[in-house]
Amino acid sequence: MGVIVDFSYANFVAIFPQFASLSQPQVEQGALPVAVLYCRNDGGGPVTNAETQTTLLNLMVAHICQLMYGANGQAPAGIVGRISNAAEGSVSVQAEFPMTPSNAWFMQTPFGAAFWQGTASYRTMRYMPGPVRFFNPWLNQ
């Protein structure tokens, strides 16, 4: 049903240079196994286009890297969303991002938010009709 794509560390770092300070084992053995828990890459998922699957997988790996390791050599931290209030004295910043309980985890990073939006069409119900029955046990025949 779905597609399987190969993860490329070199392509990932080229697309997301903020994670260039992470080693290949950190990404491939640390973040990637966690990312595939959320972005299925075993051929059983709903994504049938390899380019789309690669993009979604890279976004999820970036999301996990940001949460686990941070970016640009900095510790994990950051604001996601629209700045709704800011003060200068004693520095105070508030951000808002409309969330539901189902997407709150993804909205912690820009990569997770992009992944969430990119998978919107795959989070809908799909009706799959069952086999046609020729015998109805409730009718007397």
pLDDT above 90 as % of the chain: 52
Lowest mean pLDDT among 12-16, 27-31, 135-139: 135-139
Query: Tens of pLDDT along 34-78?
Result: 999 999 999 998 999 999 999 999 999 999 999 899 887 776 666
- Distant-in-sequence contacts of 68-73, Cβ < 8 A, 24+ apart: 68/30, 68/31, 68/34, 69/19, 69/22, 69/26, 69/30, 69/31, 71/18, 71/19, 72/18, 72/21, 73/21
